[in-house]
A and B are shown apart, each in its own frame.
Chain A
Amino acid sequence: MSLGKDKKQNTVVPPGVCLPWEEKRPDFGEILGKEEIIKSEWENLDAFAYIYLWWWVQR
């Protein structure tokens, strides 16, 4: 089974990324503090999700 088509079928999502920051960023609107802190923490957790998903494949 497959759960729908990827709207960004031609966009290459790099290793370590599930949902790129560029896709998430607009959800926040104006960021009042340091964007880099939020981005960096987003990417760390995103990388954990990536490793969890790939762990089922790399065995």
Chain B
Amino acid sequence: MTDTERLYQERLKRYLTAMDCGKPDRVPIRLFVSEFAAKSAGFTLQEIYYQVDKNIEAVNRFLEEYDVDVAPTTPSLWWASLHDAVGARYLKFAGRDLDENKQFQFIEDAYMQPDDYDSFIANPTKWILTSFLPRIHKEFSEPGSYRANLALIKGAAAMAMYNGQTGQAAEVWAKKYGRPPGMTGMTKAPFDTLGDVLRGLNGIMMDIHLRPDKVLAATEMLVEHNIYYAMATSQGDTQFPAFMPLHRGSYPFLNPEQWDKFYWPTLKKVIEGLWARGKRTLFYAEGNWTPYLERIAELPDKSIVFHVDMTDMAKAKKVLGGRFCLSGNVPNTLLAYGKPEEVRDYCKKLIDEYAADGGFIIDAGGVIQADAKEENIRALIEAAREYGVYK
């Protein structure tokens, strides 16, 4: 066994043990770096959005420089060239609509209209192709035309190319850099699928008042699709968790009664459905989920890693600790504006108070973007290595 293979196995065991609520040799370090990796590697944001090789190389350099236990995803989730090929309306990219070092911007709108609900519920896949894509892809606005057909060919080909390259990159991160993946596959809460890109925040908030039955029918229909999507995008892997970024369920987007009625039941079904297939969910709870911890505790033991951003960590530990691994929650504001000694102090306190009995993974509260200081990331890692050792 080479040193790299040995390190891979050590890190893998550390990560899996923590996710199973056990005590590994050390607190695992899992940093989800996005644009930070580009800055750290010396690339502009335009370069990582447009050039897949640089997007991947940014991770290579991050893994060379920083002692983390698992590989992050590529700093850009989007390949801008793919979006250009179809004329996607809802993202602005560095170097095209924005300065070369400006983070991408999402243009939210109600791309799905209220009168689409019935068609969407009846056959969502057909509705996406026949109604949704012509609205969000300028090149596809006249289906059947030369440009529309070309856009479909190029879009699908680009996706296959991108997946092939990132799949090969994951092999390199494992074999050359000795890092297992932090997650495989992704999916969403059904309410987020509906409320993020399709109806948008304004649309979904109106819908729960004006057409609640449609919202309930649509989210119910989405359960099996969202389970399938997680399994398909993880290519059937069940060793690592599926990433589930959670948005509209954060307090106080919905009041508790609305959360209980519209958000939680179908989210719970997706998580339980995945767990029945052996797939854990990385419950990436963006924002504050403190009011909902008791409901989240209804989930099967170990079925999620509960990620803490602005949720009350003490309460999360009290309600979920021992049955679910917790991860988080070094504040992104501290990483961006704090001093290294402040980061170290925060990490020491975090480990002392929440990691002692295992089942804990250290990470930032949210995805680490270009505003984080390199010295603060190093301070986080150094503190975790110094204080996060189990005797």
Contact = CB atoms under 8 A, between A and B. Distances in A.
B197 A54 contact: no
B135 A54 contact: no
A3 B130 contact: yes
A52 B224 contact: no
A38 interface: no
A4 B198 contact: no
Most buried by B among A6, A17, A52: A52
Contact of B126 (A13, A48, A56): A13
A26 B193 CA distance: 35
A58 B193 contact: yes
B5 to A, nearest CB: 32
B366 to A, nearest CB: 17
Contact of A47 (B88, B122, B197, B232): B232
Interface in A15-59: 15-18, 47-59
Given A16-B228, A16-B232, A52-B155, A57 B122 contact: no
B119 A2 contact: yes
Tell me if B's interface is mostly helix, strand, loop or mixed.
Answer: helix
Tell me if A's interface is mostly helix, strand, loop or mixed.
Answer: loop
A6 B128 contact: no
Contact of A49 (B132, B156, B187): B156
Contacts of B225: 15, 54
B136 A56 contact: yes
Interface string B285-297: 0000000000000
B223 to A, nearest CB: 10
B122 A6 contact: yes
Most buried by A among B88, B133, B193, B229: B229
Interface residues of A, number: 28
B156 A14 contact: no
A18 B125 contact: yes
Nearest to B224: A15
Interface string B88-125: 10000000000000000000000000001001001101
Interface in B234-291: none
A15 B228 contact: yes
Contacts of B133: 53, 56
Contacts of A59: 196-197
Most buried by B among A11, A14, A58: A58
Given A2-B130, A15-B229, A47-B232, A54 B136 contact: no
Given A2-B131, A57-B128, A9 B228 contact: no
Contact of B132 (A13, A14, A48, A57): A57
Given A2-B116, A47-B232, A58-B226, 8 more contacts: A2-B127, A6-B126, A9-B122, A9-B123, A13-B125, A52-B159, A57-B132, A58-B187
19 contacts: A1-B131, A1-B134, A1-B135, A3-B131, A6-B119, A9-B122, A10-B122, A11-B123, A15-B228, A16-B232, A48-B156, A50-B232, A54-B125, A54-B225, A54-B229, A56-B132, A56-B197, A57-B193, A58-B186
